[in-house]
Amino acid sequence: MKEKLTPMQEKIYAFIAGYIQDEGFCPTSQEIAMRTELTTQMVESHVKNIISKGWLKVNGKKFRKLELTQ
């Protein structure tokens, strides 16, 4: 079972999920930062937490490595 996301993590996850649906690949940390008005370091910290909560996974074989979990 996936852990609950914080409101900011939900915002970031929703942006990533929508971006993947529209573009077919994940956004960069900089693109997420511009959308959420956070620094890239803050985005990367939130993304790591979203991964640890089971909502995203990393595919090391791709340039843009984030994928949604099922």
Cα 70 from Cα 38, distance rounded (Å):
27
DSSP 13-64: HHHHHHHHHHHSSPPPHHHHHHHHT--HHHHHHHHHHHHHTTSEEE-TTSSS
Distances (CA, A) of 5 to 29, 46, 68: 18, 10, 14
- Which structural domains are found in the chain, ordered by start? 7-68 (1.10.10.10)
Indicate if the pLDDT at residue 45 is higher than 70: yes
> For the residues 33-52, what does the mean pLDDT come to?
96
Model confidence pLDDT, tens digit, residues 1-14:
799 999 999 999 99
Nearest 5°: CA angle at 46, between 49 and 33? 155
Indicate if the pLDDT at residue 44 is higher than 70: yes
- pTM, to two decimals: 0.90
Per-residue pLDDT, 43: 96
Model confidence pLDDT, tens digit, residues 47-59:
999 999 999 999 8
